[in-house]
């Protein structure tokens, strides 16, 4: 079923793979659009979140829910039925294709203070549930069973960093790399937006491997280059953060710019302490020293919902304004989240910003990606951050292939030079067409 095929790049380029969202909204730190995967033989189903920073697959294991936890703990953490019965997590001893590796530290978000250990091994990993048609499956993929609630839901890594468990061991490739090497997707690229439960009739997340969905965003003219540090490749300069309709009117939260990494693994936006203090004043927030979250009471939340603030992030390749930037605008609703167990016994309204202890913690998490569509091209080491769109009625998907650098495919789109160049070129053409039309009508007049 998962037999390797010899890679042939002189054949027709395969189509991108469009992952189907689970149509569930879940999480203990907000309401997030998840995707189904299944692991092992026979397959065990889970609902997970895409991770732009990770390159592995993590799912909860039975130790992640104890007798002290809520009865529906496994379901809250994305665990689904196995063999028609309730499951408490990944049962590696029930999989005939599991190969044991051992217990290792989960260091993906160590810089943000996330902790935990993973029960590592390799197994079959498939995007989609065991009941879904059109799944994308691979054998011998890196899998970790997790118990710690720092990573409440499982993750599906979109990165390409290889993994090695010792200095003498061979490295293991990521799902994206293996899918490309087996000619299952056209390139080492993806498009992703987190979805927005507050938009229209709850707009689901969108994940495309080897391409993107052009119906989900307005294209940006700005291309970002990868940072040299692999773990922070998706780094952008936040040149300013400005909000309107706050308690302070129009408010600026960034006396100076800073660099920040885009990371969908975490929900929050990690900012300098002074920016957090200004936001707390502008939105009526209170800092909870125990959970380190910014909470908001019902009265102030109602006030914000009436004011309808919007927050604009001005992004560039540098932290300072060099005249080349793009704006991503988030409504207040994108920040109107609830934290649940194990943060609080009862659902508590909070505003997803965090105090960064140093510049290594500056992060744009899933909250940001509710209103941004991210397109990443690992082969060309660049990416774009585009304003997500929410059309009513919802338009049909428009899947665009990102071809490999040396593609000779006759089906290559006008983006064969990469998604970034195509988006920029398309936007420039539209601008030129508009200018020509204006000149023509003026001339006729």
Cα distances (Å, whole numbers) of residue 42 to 123, 125, 301: 11, 11, 47
328: tokens are 């991503």
Assess whether 126 and 262 both reside in one domain: no
Residue 84, pLDDT above cutoff 50: yes
Domain membership flag for residue 442: no
261: tokens are 């990494």
Query: DSSP of 350-402, one letter per residue?
Result: EE-EEE-SSGGG-EE-HHHHTSEEEEEETTTTEEEEEEE---SSPPPP-EEE-
Query: pLDDT tens-digit profile of 143-188?
Result: 999 999 999 999 999 999 999 898 767 889 999 999 999 999 999 9
Domain membership flag for residue 101: yes
- Report CA torsion sign: 320, 322, 325, 329: positive
List the one residue out of 353, 398, 392 whose CA is nearest residue 373.
398
What are the backbone dihedrals phi and psi of residue 305, each rounded to the nearest 5 degrees, phi first?
-65, -30
Q: Is pTM beyond 0.85 here?
A: yes
List of long-range contacts for 159-164, beta carbons under 8 Å, 24+ apart: 159/51, 159/52, 159/53, 159/54, 159/55, 160/55, 160/188, 160/378, 161/55, 161/230, 161/231, 162/55, 163/55, 163/56
Among 126, 151, 185, the domain boundary falls at 185
- As a whole-number percent, the residues of the chain with pLDDT over 90 amount to 85
Among 119, 153, 185, the domain boundary falls at 185
Assess whether 239 and 374 both reside in one domain: yes
Domain membership flag for residue 363: yes
Q: What is the domain count for the chain?
A: 2
Domain membership flag for residue 32: yes
Query: pLDDT tens-digit profile of 122-149?
Result: 999 999 999 998 999 999 999 999 999 9
Residue with tokens 């001339």: 443
Assess whether 94 and 160 both reside in one domain: yes
Query: What are the counts of helices (DSSP H) followed by strands (DSSP E) for the chain?
Result: 6, 29
Domain membership flag for residue 443: no
Among 126, 155, 185, the domain boundary falls at 185
In angstroms, the CA 29 to CA 347 distance is 10
346: tokens are 């009862």
Domain membership flag for residue 431: no
Assess whether 271 and 375 both reside in one domain: yes
Residue with tokens 């020293």: 289
Assess whether 89 and 227 both reside in one domain: no
The lowest-confidence range among 160-164, 266-270, 426-430 is 426-430
Assess whether 297 and 219 both reside in one domain: yes
Domain membership flag for residue 407: yes
CATH number at residue 313: 2.40.70.10
Assess whether 269 and 407 both reside in one domain: yes
Domain membership flag for residue 334: yes
In angstroms, the CA 29 to CA 272 distance is 21
In angstroms, the CA 118 to CA 102 distance is 8
Peptide bond into 393 cis (omega under 30): yes
Range of the domain at 419: 206-425
The lowest-confidence range among 2-16, 277-291, 339-353 is 2-16
In angstroms, the CA 416 to CA 9 distance is 14
For 133, the 3-state DSSP assignment is coil
Assess whether 293 and 405 both reside in one domain: yes
């Amino acid at each position: 079923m998962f037999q390797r095929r010899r890679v042939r790049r002189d054949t027709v380029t395969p189509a991108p793979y469009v992952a189907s969202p689970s149509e569930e909204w879940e999480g203990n730190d907000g309401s997030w659009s998840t995707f189904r995967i299944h692991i092992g033989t026979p397959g065990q189903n889970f609902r997970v979140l895409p991770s732009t920073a990770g390159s592995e697959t993590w799912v909860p294991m039975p130790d992640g829910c104890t007798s002290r936890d809520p009865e529906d703990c496994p379901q809250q953490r994305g665990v689904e039925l196995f063999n028609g019965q309730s499951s408490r997590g990944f049962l590696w001893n029930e999989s005939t294709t599991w190969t044991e590796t051992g217990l290792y530290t989960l260091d993906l978000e160590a810089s943000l203070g996330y902790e935990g250990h993973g029960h590592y091994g390799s197994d079959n990993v498939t995007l989609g549930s065991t009941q879904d048609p059109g799944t994308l499956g691979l054998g011998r993929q890196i899998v970790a069973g997790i118990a710690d609630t720092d990573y409440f839901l499982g993750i599906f890594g979109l990165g390409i960093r290889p993994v090695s468990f010792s200095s003498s061991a061979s490295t293991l490739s990521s799902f994206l790399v293996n899918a490309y090497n087996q000619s299952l997707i056209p390139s080492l690229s993806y498009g992703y937006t987190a979805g927005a439960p507050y938009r229209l009739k709850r707009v689901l997340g969108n994940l495309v491997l080897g391409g993107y969905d052009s119906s989900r965003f307005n294209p940006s003219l700005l291309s970002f280059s990868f940072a040299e540090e692999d773990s922070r490749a998706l780094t952008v300069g936040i040149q300013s953060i400005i909000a309107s309709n706050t308690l302070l009117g129009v408010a600026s939260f960034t006396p100076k710019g800073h660099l920040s990494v885009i990371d969908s693994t975490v929900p929050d936006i990690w900012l300098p302490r002074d920016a957090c203090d200004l936001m707390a004043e502008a939105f009526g927030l209170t800092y909870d020293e125990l959970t380190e979250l910014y909470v908001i009471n019902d009265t102030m939340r109602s006030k914000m919902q009436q004011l309808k603030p919007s927050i604009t992030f001005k992004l560039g390749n540098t932290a300072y304004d060099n005249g080349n930037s793009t704006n991503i605008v988030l409504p207040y609703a994108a920040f109107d989240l609830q934290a649940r167990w194990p943060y609080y016994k009862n659902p508590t309204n909070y505003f997803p910003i965090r105090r960064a202890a140093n510049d290594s913690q500056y992060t744009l998490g899933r909250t940001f990606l509710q209103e941004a569509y991210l397109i990443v091209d690992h082969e060309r080491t660049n990416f774009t951050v585009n304003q997500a769109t929410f059309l009513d009625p919802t338009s049909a998907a428009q899947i665009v292939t990102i071809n490999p650098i040396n593609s000779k495919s006759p089906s290559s789109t006008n983006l064969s030079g990469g998604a970034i160049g195509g988006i920029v070129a398309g936007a420039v053409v539209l601008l030129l067409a508009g200018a020509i039309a204006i000149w023509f009508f003026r001339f006729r007049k």
